[in-house]
Amino acid sequence: MKEDLLYKKKKIILLVSVLLVSTSGLAYELVAGTMATYLIGQSVLQFSFAMGWFLAAMGLGSYLSRFAKTNILDKILKIQILLGLTGGYSAAILFFAFAYTDTLYPFFLLLALIVGTGVGFEIPIILRLMGEVNILSLAISDVFTFDYIGALFASMVFPLVLLPNLGLIRSSIFFGSMNILSGFLLISVINKKENRKDKILLTLSGFVLLLGFFFSEKLTRFIEDKLYQDPIILTKDTSYQRIVVTKWRNDTRLFLDGNLQFSTMDEARYHESLVHVPIAFLKRVPESVLVIGGGDGLAIRELLKYSEIKSITLVELDPQMIKLFKDNPNLQKINNNSLSNPKLTIFTMDAFNFLKENKGENTYDLILTDLPDPNSYSIGKLYTVSFYLNLFQHLKKDGIFVTQSTSPLFAKDAYWCIVETIRFAAYKINPSIHTIPYHVYIPSFGDWGFSMSGSNLSPGDFQPIQVSTQFLSNDLISSLFVFSKDSLPDTPPPINHLDSQVLIGLYSNAYHRLYE
């Protein structure tokens, strides 16, 4: 009877160990993919690459496990320590690599190889141990059941709980501690006369992870000081992105996933061109406006200069972005507390879904999309024919739609692809809708482009601006529609469809060439 209870206890402990190992194993893969997405972009490519390389390394580890015939406990404990420290500090290592070297990929590949091989090695070993306390067929079933449960747990907890609350570095350290805990559990089920040395090694490893957990904020700031030119005043990891705000004297800058979004030294050039140019061409002040993106409230600030506007609807994916720019005193000053204005209604949801769910319910005099550049497929879908077809159905017949469209100089092919995609979608909705491109020089970004669509638009047919502006003047507006020869397309631009998203490749290639 005692023997049966002992076997049952061993079985439960081994299954818990499998759960910990599988949870941490998938989590390391998610951490690596997320970090690469944050730093490089192109989320589908990064996650596909991470998963493929990780699974291949697991296969290698499974193959190598066949050669482990003696001292199995020592081998698996060393694997747990290796995984706990390497996987636990994987986010920090990748962050360091990006800040202090020219490339991230060698470190990305090495970490995936080490962690994937380790995870692939230990599961067959634990399976052997399970076979000693259970019928082999049942042991295989139990191990893989708990393996898959652990994977599900990691895939749910990481994006929904840990990443928004702990950040990437602390999240990876948290999962690293699971490997150390698994090591202690494995010691408890294996009969070994002397395991003091193993416990000391596991304890020291746990202590190293604990130090990293408590000092992760300082570590992150140390690394980011290398990445960002100015002192960091605010950082926030959300379910969707990493938000960093820097400040030097009068210049406050917003970075999303390491990409500059605005500088207060010249953001007026961008936001005034986005807002006041289409209103000048509308020839009347719009009563209802839809803004997609722009959770910083700066486009809303410009719109609120028109007292005639009755309602503004803002659709922003990330609620933390809204919260920061609504509640933080430093950021409130930049947007004039625009996000608390009673004219504003805020929806925190995906813009694609917003347009689908609200089809036919509301139409707007003016629609603005103030989106990040199309550097990933999740953002790129908001630059596709499908998205624009939905959007034009929310625009009044005499309304105007404007979107930022990247740089016509540095990302020329991407810029004209966006313009041509909007033209294609607009013509399908109404042949009288014209799409005209314009651009403005912004020192922080260089030559920056926009696309404007409306019925029978003509570059010279606009009304004078009636509100105060910092940059834009009536004399300047006409010049915004003139492009230099090296900004014009060399070949007919492609159209960006949802199923192919050629725009992502065009944008990525442009900026890779720029930084070569």
List, as one string, the DSSP characters of 489-505: -SSPPP---TTT-HHHH
SS3 29: helix
**Cα→Cα distances 22→60, 124, 189, Å:** 16, 12, 19
SS3 assignment, position 417: helix
| Residue of 318, 370, 373, 413 with catalytic role | 370
Beta strand 364-370 pairing with 395-404: parallel
CA angle 343, 347, 351 (to 5 degrees): 120
Quote the DSSP letter at residue 463.
P
Residue 295 has which token pair?
A: 């959770």
CA distance 468 to 465: 8
Bridge partners for 402 per DSSP: 368, 452
Distance separating alpha carbons of residues 93 and 169, to the nearest angstrom: 9
Beta strands per DSSP E along 405-505: 433-442, 446-455
Answer yes or no: are the C-beta atoms of 320 and 236 closer than 8 Å. yes
Query: In this structure, what are the phi and psi dihedrals at residue 512, rounded to the nearest 5 degrees?
Result: -65, -40
List the structure tokens of 367: 């629609």
Q: How do 288-293 and 311-315 pair as beta strands?
A: parallel
Q: Which residues does 71 contact at the CB level (< 8 Å), separation at least 6?
A: none
The reply to whether 237 belongs to the active site is no
- Region label for 297, one of left (φ > 0), alpha (ψ between -120 and 50) or beta (otherwise): left
Number of Cβ within 10 Å of residue 284's Cβ equals 10
Q: Strand locations in 166-322, DSSP E? A: 232-237, 242-248, 251-256, 259-263, 288-293, 311-315
Dist. CA 511–CA 444, nearest whole Å = 15
Residues serving a catalytic function are 370
